[in-house]
Chain A
Amino acid sequence: MAGIDLAYLVSTLPLLWEGMQVTLLLTVFGVVGGIALGTVLAVLRLSRTKPLALAAGAYVNFFRSLPLLLLVFWFYFLIPLWLGRPVGGYYSALISFILFEAAYFCEIIRSGIQSVRHGQIFAGLATGLTYRQTMRSIVLPQALRNMVPVLLTQGVNLFKSTSLVYVVGVRDFLTAADVIGTRDNHIIEMYCFAAVVYFVLCLAASISVNRLQRRYAL
């Protein structure tokens, strides 16, 4: 390996950026969808109706026992069977990310809500606030502070996990680096560059999450 050809790296940037956009989109949709579904699951898990709580718990345990990769393949093969036409790797990957991450987000949100002590609710109600007011101005602000850093960390994890779409041929950042590297016979530089980019982005993200956590910690 003779040095790194900077001019070459620069020439690959436009294609890599296209890949990075796919990676970022998958991450954002995955996080938003995962949090939406995860919130529903968390509410169900905490509900007093036993069957609902059990069903949500079963969902969480089921998805947490599976490799994400297997789930991606499930939908990659299943959706075309279902719809009768291929939809490509992008949507099957996105669906599996949302379903999979929802299980993890559910646990984060649930423990966030449970981290607020019961006495706080009683105190709120005792001072004459309605249940809704207690939730809005006492429980949720504290719960959010506890869970936002963990939610963000999970988002960073998903950002790393999106590289799995490589197996179904979606042109995300890693796949773009792989395709370019194979095409130009520069596979070593491209893999190393991809690793450096992921490292810098994830490190920056986790440092900011830590700062945020320290500033808003209760």
Chain B
Amino acid sequence: MRYNWNWAILVTEPYVYWILSGVLWTILVSIAGWILAFSLGSLVGIARTLRQPVVRAVAGAYVEVFRNVPLLVQIFLWYFVLPEILPPRAGTWLKRDLPHAEYWTAVVSLGTYTACRVAEQVRAGIQAIGRGQTYAGLATGLTSFQVYRHILLPVGYRIIVPALTSEFLNIFKNSSLALTIGVLELTSRTRQISEYTYQPIELFTAATVVYGLMTMAVMLAMRVVEARTRIPGMISVEAK
């Protein structure tokens, strides 16, 4: 194997700035996607545990649809298909006037996809709490809403912290798919620079290290969350 090593490429201008901006975009897409995934996923997950059959069916359908279509296909649907099937004015706005359209598309597709996985975890967390707690809450005169607010959710979320950690990590990894619609995130930038400079090994090594560091950072942060919110004497569970 003949290869001209040149590690200095990583700190050469303008490439060093490209890599840094790639890292920044990866973080921006992932965090924004996670906010959407966590809020939407919580709603859907709670809906799956409610008593109304219609609400449960809609939430269940959401999970099945988003879980069973590859993320890449979902990204294409959001980016290429949605603007065409919307009313013309909305479609044109999405295609022409929305600033950073590819960024928002990536956030929405990652967020809605990860939401279905978060929803399953939230549901599992709520269902892991014995029925007795709900009955006890209702018997003491709490409304259904209060039972969720004060009993099921505070305990349920604490149970699923480890499972949410791995979903949060997944969103960082999945954000690399945003390159297919032109978001210049880390993977996209490293591929671009390695094509310009013919130094793929250095660049992909750098990207590998950065993804590893992001994984570690997320795990450390979530470990703090887990320690802060732990209920003494309880063991965490994960959804099947």
A residues with CB within 8 A of B: 1, 62, 65-70, 73-74, 77-78, 81-82, 84, 160-161, 163-164, 166-167, 174, 178, 187-188, 191-192, 194-195, 198-199, 202-203, 206
Q: B68 near A199 (CB under 8 angstroms)? A: yes
Q: B177 near A194 (CB under 8 angstroms)? A: no
Within 8 A of A (CB), among B78-112: 80-81, 84-85
Bound Cα distance A167, B195 (Å): 14
Q: A68 near B173 (CB under 8 angstroms)? A: yes
Within 8 A of A (CB), among B101-131: none
B194 within 8 A of A: yes
Given contacts A1-B85, A164-B72, contact A191 B80 (CB under 8 A): yes
Q: A191 near B207 (CB under 8 angstroms)? A: no
Residue of A68, A82, A167 touching B1 (CB-CB under 8 A):
A82
B191 within 8 A of A: yes
Q: How many A-B residue pairs have CB under 8 A?
A: 103
In the bound complex, residues from chain B placing their C-beta under 8 Å from that of A81 are 1, 3, 200-201
Q: B84 near A1 (CB under 8 angstroms)? A: yes
Q: A161 near B70 (CB under 8 angstroms)? A: yes
In the bound complex, residues from chain B placing their C-beta under 8 Å from that of A174 are 70, 72-73
Q: B204 near A74 (CB under 8 angstroms)? A: yes
Bound Cα distance A18, B103 (Å): 33
B35 within 8 A of A: no
Residue of B70, B194, B208 touching A77 (CB-CB under 8 A):
B194
B76 within 8 A of A: yes
For the residues of B in contact with A, the DSSP-based class is: helix
A-B contact pairs, 18 of them (CB 8 A): A65-B211, A65-B212, A65-B215, A67-B211, A70-B190, A73-B187, A73-B190, A73-B191, A73-B204, A78-B200, A160-B71, A161-B70, A166-B180, A187-B80, A187-B81, A188-B80, A198-B69, A206-B68
In the bound complex, residues from chain A placing their C-beta under 8 Å from that of B68 are 160, 198-199, 202-203, 206
In the bound complex, residues from chain B placing their C-beta under 8 Å from that of A82 are 1
B165 within 8 A of A: no
Bound Cα distance A191, B1 (Å): 41
* Chain A: CB-nearest residue to B216: A65
Bound Cα distance A174, B71 (Å): 12
Q: B208 near A66 (CB under 8 angstroms)? A: yes
Bound Cα distance A192, B84 (Å): 12
Known: A73-B200, A84-B1. 17 other contacts (CB 8 A): A62-B212, A65-B216, A66-B211, A66-B212, A67-B174, A70-B176, A70-B207, A161-B70, A163-B70, A163-B72, A174-B70, A191-B73, A191-B80, A195-B73, A198-B68, A198-B69, A199-B68
* Chain B: CB-nearest residue to A159: B70
In the bound complex, residues from chain B placing their C-beta under 8 Å from that of A1 are 84-85
Bound Cα distance A1, B74 (Å): 19
Given contacts A65-B215, A66-B208, A70-B211, contact A194 B73 (CB under 8 A): yes
Given contacts A74-B204, A188-B81, A203-B64, contact A69 B69 (CB under 8 A): no
